[in-house]
Structure 1
Amino acid sequence: MLFLRSRSLPLICLLMLAATGCDKVQQAIDEQTGETAESVDPATPPAAPAEMAPAATAKTPQQIIDAFLAVPSHERTDARLQELTALEEGLEQVTELNLANSSVTDAGFAGVKNLTALKTANLSQTRLSNAAFAALTELTQLEELTLDGMVNVDGAALETIKEVESLRSLKMTNTVIGDVALVSLAELPHLELLHIDGVRNMAGRPFADAAKKGGFKELRELSFSGTQFGTYGLENVGSLKSLEVIRAQGGEINDGTFLTIGACTNLRELYFQNNSFNPNSLKALQRLRNLEVLRLDGCNSIVDPSFDMLKSLKGLRELGLEGCPCTPAAVEQLKTKFLKETAIHYGGETL
């Protein structure tokens, strides 16, 4: 009996050890299975694949046109202008182009030739050069062109501009256009307005010669304030029968100017502020029966006796005498006795 017990004891211990080991193995299996179950939840569906972003919708011609026109002129670039001029439809809507103070270059401007409905173009203060103007020669409806302050443009540009026969208005203030080049415009058949204010290298002789030969025959308004153009420019102004307005503030107007101006019977407005001349020259203005506006502000030669030459201008609507050395009493008499219907600007007031 004792022998049986001694042999059974190791067997019992072995069985107990095996049982304990199985429990640990089962525990390890359970733990591993639990981790897998936690990491993959059969109730959670797999993530859907990411959706592709929709392709950008191409802009319509109308959207491109509207977007360009909505941008301020100084923010218009080569890229924006090229996008516009590359359109194959809708460009007949674009009748005005304002590029003033923009960064557009000759390369970006080349496509403007496609804007065949263009009537007005403002290129002021841009960096365009003479070469850019080739694009304008195909614009048969262009009527107004503004080139103010274009420092890269000189007289050579006018050789191209003269081919734009539809042109009615040309403004080139503060540029370096020269006297001789200006004559290139003499044969433009419809040119009515010419502004060359601030152009320093002009004395007007070639213009006067062209006028004598029949050039500039449709000109209605001529403006050359702040220049020397008046030295010779108006010598044959009497030949310009359509001329109605002359703006020449500080424009070197002289005594001889008045003699020729007297032949411009259609003149309606004269702006001669800040010029020096003999007051007796004003007598020539008595021939201008259609004159409505006469500005003589800042002219030191306008003194009381000068009014004898002005009192017959009954058709004047406006007379400027600001800064003139005439007396208040003489101005009052001119107003109350002779020019009763005329607004006279004097002494900071309008009589």
Structure 2
Amino acid sequence: MSKVLSSLCLLFLFSSTVFSQKIITTKQVPRVTAQRDTLSHWVKKNQVGFDISEIAFLNWSAGGTSSISGLLKSKFTRVYTQENYNWTNELVMRYGLNKQDGIEVRKTEDVFQYNTAFGYRKDTLSNWYHTAKLNFNTQFTNGYSYPNTNTAVSKPFAPAYLFAGVGAEYANKEKSRMLYISPFTSKMTFVLDQRLADLGTFGVVKATYDTDGNLLTPGQKSKIELGFLVTALYKQEIAKNITLENRISLYSDYINHFGNIDIDNDLLVELVVNNHVKTNIGAHIIYDDDIKAKEEVEGVQVTVGPKLQLKQVLGVGIVYAF
């Protein structure tokens, strides 16, 4: 675990150091900027996009499998700012599918996430805020450990995660560098599907049975933790029309195995063609002690210990901002 954490920290520090050197350019693609409502002090920004990738083969001697993938994504932001107060709200939704010849349609992305943070600072010269944060995320549809599509390994609200806490947050004026430290953050895990709860998935207490296999106590559908949370955001234009954004979250529960750290690191590089066409390259790394991996052994899926999760994404698509 310490090796994984060290590697991720080095990756984050390396990207922050290397890419902080700003490349001077004379001409850039015009950008769509959020508009502030001067009467209500709100900044509103909406983005809706669609990424697609396709490959097709016909009499291709080297072989290959035709496939097509699509990703629908949206992000809605509302920020209220007035002197020493700041209230940020963000709704993120993504859903992607992939179809290959001879294989059923498979899900590639499924995200529903809402974030809100309210901050107060003593004076307008300070970049440090006393902040209360809430984060909720779940998914839209069932998830499967392919090729097994008979038994779902996840469902809407199974799991769902709710983080709520208070702490201190540093944010520069452009909101491109942020650091949030919370010594008191509650992490609530919900598994509202009884079958998955009985299996003890995602860290909830599993069901108990007698020696004959009769159910004694059903699995619990929720789990509450209290721990220490650190999150950071780094965003920088590393070259003309190329922006790097890295978000990292580190959480450790005080009660259950304090020192075991849940890691969520999301790295995104965005290449802007124009206001509506963009290319995205991303890598998402997750490590959570409570999430047990599944492997197929001799045609049977078995549950093993927690493993490092990695998702890599490359997409070209259209984005409409308004």
TM-score between the two structures when normalised by the length of structure 2: 0.21
- The structure with the largest strand share of the pair is 2
TM-score between the two structures when normalised by the length of structure 1: 0.20
- The structure with the largest helix share of the pair is 1
Q: Which has the larger radius of gyration?
A: 1
